[in-house]
Chain A
Amino acid sequence: MAKRTFSIGGVHPHDSKISRSCAIEPLAIPQTVYISVAQHIGAPAKPVVAVGDKVKVGEVLAEPGGFVSAFIHSSVSGTVKSIAPRADLAGNPQMTIEIAVEGDEWAEGIDTSDTLVTEIPEDGKQILEKIRLGGVVGLGGATFPTHVKLSPPPGSKCEMLIINGCECEPYLTSDFRTLLEKGEQVVVGAALIKQVLGGVPCTIGIEENKPEAIAHINEVIEKLKKVSPKYEGISVLSLKKRYPQGGEKQLIDAVMHRQVPSGGLPISVGAVVQNVATALAVYDAVQKNKPIVDNSVTVTGECFPAQANLLVRVGTPLRFIIDSLGGVPENAVKIISGGPMMGKAVANLDAATLKGTSALLFLTAEQTARKAPSACIRCGRCAEACPMGLEPFLLNRLWKAGDNEKLEANAVADCIECGCCLYSCPANIPLLDMIRMAKADVMKIIRARAAAAKAAAEATKK
């Protein structure tokens, strides 16, 4: 049988996984960490510590600021120095808790041993609560609070849990290394999430360019099945290498052959997707009482001599990581937090890592410089590459014409900003740049309309 993949669009950038043989190594703890309270999608967390407080590793620094929000824990032990806005990697001010590090003392109740805990608690609610208390968020990029995602709205039914091990972004290898080195923990984490969802089948999707990971996880599953029947129904699915397979909608399409309706949630087709790193975080939070205080970061790039996968404490300044590996290479012009397709360019090296920081990538001018755009030759490559079936060339034209109505009709709001259009355009037209702006405009209109409709409905009720 042909290997599965998603049905529309996609591109095949060179995977450049040059750091694939670098085992995850813990990075030294810096003298000061800067922990942002906005590390997830949704409302920023509310600080519950004050300047001068002593904190230990794993103690709560901030509480959820709303339903869609998450706990923030201290990643170090030390003294809270300040709670004030600080520039993030783009230079935008974010409320940040600064902690001066003193020693490395962990909060009580956290199991820091390596002992594998394979027992799956029966009570899903209890697991969910521990996930919430552990500040677990989706580590695949979106950083959506995991406990919210695992509480499907009433009336919806989950049929399958998909663990996302695609890591389809070029250069990134932290999920790959996690699968190899912490495979057991990832599978236990998957079983825990599966338990919360009522024991649904679980598919771990891994792209074919990681055969070692596929083989290893298959072994782990076989081993764990002998330990407990809770591990029945977990399987690995090898997927064709194709970007953006790790996109939630694309992965569901690839695994289940179901398309999440436009504007709908994955649960509407019976799917819940969680990333490999998230499964590991779930394991830590539930089995070890260990909240997210660190995460693996790939530091890579052809121009960067020291490839590495590092276990980094949340809030570590980027400059500290880079300096520990020999500093910014001479010919690097751009540093990206994340992968080259969807990552964000770093403007401020004094910014600190977040829970969701997956990589620091160094690119040279030759690799990353945009070329001057020329005329559209109507080759249709952008439309062919778009995994959402959109027509980027058309959206670009409509945005220039300011035609919001047609932009909406042509589904600009469905854009997942994967970058395939701009990546594949032979005329170097900045398609995604334009589409992002168009999408923002149209989303504003859609939201205003929804708000107006809601207000009108309430007015008639009275």
Chain B
Amino acid sequence: MDKLTVSPSPHIHAKVSTRSLMTDVVIALLPAVICSVVFYGWKELLILAVSVASCVLIEYVITRYMLKKPSTVGDMSAVVTGILLALNVPYTTPWWVVFIGAVFAVAVAKMTFGGLGQNIFNPAIAGRVFLLVSFPTVMTHWEQPQALFGVDAVTGPTPLGAIKEGLLNKVPVPDIMASKGYSYADMLFANLGGSAGEVCALALLAGFIYLCCRRVIKPWITLSIFVTVALTSLIFWGINPARFTGPLFNLLTGGLILGACFMATDYVTSPMSTWGGVIFGAGIGFLTVMIRYFGAYPEGVSFAILIMNAFVPLINMGFKQKKFGRA
């Protein structure tokens, strides 16, 4: 040893990095990824591959050739965005539509704001919503999963779509449910139509528990969303069960679990404090139910998260940790 390193304290660092955190998120998403591939087959695999590859490639090209900076793809955040985007579109989506979604998610929602950490909106959700308003037919064309590597796919609406459609025809909710033969067990174990990530609630919840155990995220935002969705729909359902869907239905359908576990908990676009997170989650939960009940779209999670993303700076200002020894 010839020279001593001299630098200010602390001299050690926790074994955690942006890359390790993002890798944990990818691991947490694996059960859902595997489920969706099992249910939808190679088409879903293709979507995942296109989505992840384009997100990473777009970030690489932008950082290296437009910003002329070292590439940031090593932090794995583009991979997370890619997987989330793939889980948010129907498996019948053409690859080029997925690519356009990735361009919007990474190039517009993330990089134009200054890259990871600077974006106001969750890139994957921004990409999904962009596709939803740009390609409404593609994005609302669902085919129900049929056993392994679904050969005889049956086209049909998602439960939420079916309810919306039924209500437009003035059919009461219980009758719609009965006519479609929906059961909550099916919803939990993935047997109903929806985008890939919406199909298996259990796989998503397993990933969420993994993230909490690894202390990558705190459960408060997610729990707050669940509780608010349950309470809000309990009130409406209690008042008029013929017009409004119930709490369990709202919890298990659509992208609620995916959104609540993986998108609303995105560090960059969610509040930092526990109570800020609870408010943020309550806002998402309430808006989701309102959009589902009264909005034009059957599904509201994406919009609810996007809207609440915009409130994050405000929430961060309002909920500050109490300082030691100060009033």
Listed in ascending order, the chain A residues whose CB lies under 8 Å from chain B are 8, 11, 13, 90, 170, 249, 253, 259-262, 264, 328-336, 340-347, 349, 361, 363, 365, 367-371, 374-381, 383, 386-391, 411, 414, 417, 419-420, 422-424, 426-428, 432-433, 436
13 contacts between A and B (CB under 8 A): A260-B325, A340-B11, A342-B9, A345-B8, A368-B5, A380-B273, A381-B16, A383-B272, A389-B323, A414-B323, A422-B10, A426-B16, A428-B13
Partner of A379, one of B1, B6, B9, B21: B21
Whole-angstrom CA separation of A329 from B325 in the bound complex = 44
Number of A-B pairs, beta carbon distance below 8 Å: 156
Inter-chain CA distance A330–B4, complex, in Å, is 11
Cα A427 to Cα B13 in complex, Å, equals: 11
> Contact at A345–B118, with CB atoms within 8 Å?
no
Q: How large is the interface on B (under 10, 10 to 19, 20 to 34, 35 or more residues)?
A: 35 or more
Q: Which of B9, B11, B115, B268 has the most CB of A within 10 A?
A: B11
CB-based contact A13/B115 at 8 Å: no
Cross-interface CB contact of A391 among B7, B11, B320, B325, cutoff 8 Å: B320
A424 to B20, CA, bound (A): 13
- Knowing A345-B4, A375-B118, A379-B21, say if A424 contacts B324 (CB, 8 Å): no
Residues of A contacting B13 in the complex (Cβ-Cβ under 8 angstroms): 370-371, 422-423, 428
CB distance from A156 to the nearest CB of B (A): 16
Q: Is the C-beta of B169 less than 8 angstroms from some C-beta in chain A?
A: no
For A363, the chain B residues whose CB sits under 8 A away are 11-12
Closest to B114 in A: A375
Q: Which residues of B contact A332 (CB under 8 A)?
A: 1
Taking CB atoms and an 8 Å cut-off, the chain B residues in 268-302 that contact chain A are 268, 272-273
**Considering only CB atoms, which chain A residue lies closest to B17 in the complex?**
A426
CB-CB nearest in chain B for A420: B10
Is the pair B10, A341 in contact by a Cβ cutoff of 8 Å?
Answer: yes
- Whether B10 pairs with A329 at a CB distance below 8 angstroms is no
Judging by beta carbons under 8 Å apart, are B6 and A389 in contact? no
Bound: A61/B311 CA distance, A: 65
Name the A residues within 8 Å of B75 (CB-CB): 374
Taking A345-B7, A390-B323, A414-B324 as known contacts, 11 extra A-B pairs with beta carbons closer than 8 A to each other, sorted by chain A number, are A333-B5, A343-B9, A343-B11, A345-B8, A379-B21, A381-B16, A383-B272, A389-B324, A426-B21, A428-B17, A432-B8
CB within 8 Å of A: which of B118-133?
Answer: 118
Q: How far is the CB of B193 from chain A (nearest CB, A)?
A: 35
Residue of B nearest to A379 (CB): B267
Contact A375:B324 (CB < 8 A) given known A11-B14, A333-B1, A345-B7: no
* A388 in contact with B12 given A345-B4, A380-B267, A428-B17 (CB within 8 Å): no
B206 to chain A, nearest CB (A): 22
Is B322 in the interface zone, CB < 8 Å from A?
yes
B73 CB, nearest partner CB in chain A, Å: 12
Given contacts A8-B324, A264-B325, A389-B323, is CB(A342)–CB(B1) below 8 Å?
no
Beta-carbon nearest neighbor of A260 in chain B:
B325
CB atoms of A344 and B9 under 8 A apart: yes
| Docked-complex contact B10 and A432, CB < 8 angstroms | yes
A377 & B267 in contact (Cβ 8 Å cutoff): yes
| Partner of B1 from A90, A264, A328 at Cβ < 8 Å | A328
> Nearest chain A CB to B312's CB is how many angstroms away?
9
Q: Which residue of A lies closest to B12 (CB)?
A: A340
* Complex alpha-carbon distance, A335 and B6, angstroms: 8
Which residue among B4, B13, B75, B273 has the maximum number of chain A CB atoms within 10 Å of its CB?
A: B13
Contact A249/B324 with A341-B9, A374-B18, A375-B117 known, Cβ cut-off 8 Å: yes
Partner of A259, one of B3, B5, B8, B324: B324
A142 CB to closest chain B CB, in angstroms?
14
Q: A343-B9, A377-B116 are in contact. Are A383 and B16 (CB under 8 A)?
A: no
Collect the chain B residues with CB atoms within 8 Å of residue A417's CB.
9
Report if A345-B10 is in contact (Cβ < 8 Å); known contacts: A377-B267, A379-B267, A389-B322.
no
CA distance A76 to B233 in the complex (A): 81
